[in-house]
Amino acid sequence: MKPKITLLIIFYIPMVFRVYGQRPGREIQINIDTLLNARPVTTLTHGKLVTWSKGIDGDGQGDGYLTMAAALFNKNKVANALPDNPRIEATPEHPSITLHYKNNDGTGYQTRFVSGEGSFGFNVPPKKYMGMYLSLTSAEGGSQLEIELTYQDGAVIKNCWLPDYYNDIIARDTCLSYVVHDLGKWDNKNNMAEPNHHNIDALNIYPDPRRILLHIKVKKGAAGYLVFWAATGVPVK
Alpha-carbon torsion 231, 11, 152, 26, what sign? positive
pLDDT of residue 20: 52
Burial class (CB in 10 A: 0-12, 13-18, 19+), 226: buried
pLDDT of residue 24: 58
pLDDT of residue 19: 47
Q: Which of 156, 136, 138, 139 is nearest to 147 (CA)?
A: 156
pLDDT in tens, 165-178: 999 998 878 899 99
Q: Which of 218, 217, 235, 135 is nearest to 176 (CA)?
A: 135
pLDDT of residue 16: 34
Flag residues of the chain having pLDDT under 50: 1-19, 21-22
pLDDT of residue 152: 98
CA atoms within 13 A on the CB side of 73: 18
pLDDT of residue 23: 55
